[in-house]
Amino acid sequence: MSSPLIPRLHGFGTTIFAEMSALALRTGAINLGQGFPDSDGPSAIKEAARAAIADGLNQYPPGRGLPVLRAAIADHQARHYGLDLDPDQQVLPTVGATEGIASSILALVEPGDEVVTFEPYYDSYTAMFALAGVAHRTCVLRAPEFAVDPDELRAAFSSRTKLVLLNTPHNPTGKVFSRDELQLIADLAQEHDAFVVTDEVYEHLTFDGSTHIPIATLPGMADRTLTIGSAGKTFSLTGWKVGWVTGPADLVQAALTVKQYLTFSGGGPFQAAVAEGLRLGQPLLDELHEAMDHRRHLMVEGLRQIGFDTWLPQGTYFAIGDARPLGWDDATDLCWQLPDLCGVVAIPVSGFHDDPSANASLLRFAFCKDEDKIREGLRRLQSLG
Ligand code: PMP
Ligand code: GLN
């Protein structure tokens, strides 16, 4: 029998992350695929969630989010980036960044519009474009630099472009967009009078002095940009699904209109706990950052020794390995065989592309895992060399 799923969503069957985590479970392989940390976030934040539940914060939070969380997010954006936001109108907690992305896209584009984004891209973007019924055009980021090709980016814009979807620091490449690249995106968005939705869930995971610059801080951009963050990534609490959208009041209101019919609201006690986490501030972020940085080096040095071409990522918790020096041109093929070959799961970067032949030999390895697990994964991968 043919699938009852609407044709626009054909091809979106199961996410590559779920597929690869299921493969790891089925085969008992070490999961260096899906990006969730092995070690849970700070105990002070978990304690705050327990206290919120014990204190009876267990009914619907307001659709606009708990005031204490909105205030903490506004304060965070001011402290880190000098962005001045009214917590009552310019901040919207969401059910993970995923709902923030969905609400923003569904609120701002409709059939006939076009969206510009970068490839490889996080999978929920294109699923949402499909739900919204909009076409997307892309600028491809290619290994090893993953730099923006200005001509390719310009060519992706048209008179129909209504929205640019940006992700920096970038999953899966680990790239942090430079100020010049962001300025070009900003110029093109302004020239075409397009909105920008910017997914900045890895904002606190940048390394080696590379700086995360929110595009909303560039001249003229604050009024046309919705910025998305996630406590899941910031505090290693991915299962809590607390994210947020910030921006000008009219765009936030538009996202809220959609959000209230997706979930209305969610995660009451977790919202309160995340507010506490944001209040605890820098020492907490530094601690998490240091642990990730150590694992980043461990992973990349290990991959290099095995024989992958690899580069230290500037951001996120993902490292890329190019399998060509090991004799593999097709990373998808390799990823499906990897559990049998050596008991490891990784994600093929082609899963983040329209055209699976782009970046075809690249694998993504998550280093947000316990050090022992990374070491054992690397030990097993040595048999590829
Ligand atoms: N954006 C990117 C780039 C991601 O990697 C992820 C995965 N965590 C998300 C959004 C989704 O974030 P959340 O879990 O907060 O919904
Ligand atoms: N963001 C996570 C990753 O890139 C996956 C989240 C999910 O499974 N949807 O691995």
For ligand 2, atom 4, name the residue with the nearest CA.
35
Q: What is the pLDDT of residues 322-351, one digit of tens each?
A: 999 999 999 999 999 999 999 999 999 999
Q: What is the pLDDT of residues 287-318, one digit of tens each?
A: 999 999 999 999 999 999 999 999 999 999 99
Tokens for 188, please give them.
């093109």
Helix axes 96-108, 249-262, angle to 10 degrees: 110
How many A from CA of 326 to the centre of ligand 1?
31
CB-ligand 1 contact for 128 (6 Å cutoff): no
| pLDDT at 35 > cutoff 70 | yes
| pLDDT at 213 > cutoff 90 | yes
7-41+284-384 and 43-280 share one CATH topology? no
DSSP calls for 72-85: HHHHHHHHHH----
CB-ligand 1 contact for 167 (6 Å cutoff): yes
State yes or no: cis peptide before 42, omega within 30 of 0. Answer: no
DSSP calls for 303-327: HHHHT-EE---SBSSEEEEE-GGGT
| pLDDT at 1 > cutoff 70 | no
For residue 124, the model assigns a pLDDT of: 96
| pLDDT at 165 > cutoff 80 | yes
CB 320 within 8 A of CB 363: yes
220: amino acid identity, one letter: G
Strand blocks (E) in 42-102: 91-95
Q: Dihedrals φ, ψ of 366, to 5°? A: -85, 125
Kind and range of the H or E run holding 115? strand 114-119
Ligand 2 atom with the shortest distance to the CA of 172 = 4
CATH class name, domain 43-280:
alpha beta
Please list every protein residue whose CB sits less than 6 Å from any atom of ligand 2. Answer: 15, 17, 34-35, 171
CATH superfamily of 7-41+284-384: Aspartate Aminotransferase, domain 1 (3.90.1150.10)
Question: Per-residue pLDDT averaged across 85-114, rounded?
Answer: 98
CB-ligand 1 contact for 34 (6 Å cutoff): no
CB 190 within 8 A of CB 220: yes
Cβ neighbors of 151 (< 8 A, separation 6 or more) are none
Mean pLDDT (the chain) is 96
* Residue to mutate (ligand 1; options 177, 198, 230; most atoms within 8 A of CB): 230
For residue 357, the model assigns a pLDDT of: 87
Domain-wise residue ranges, the chain: 7-41+284-384, 43-280
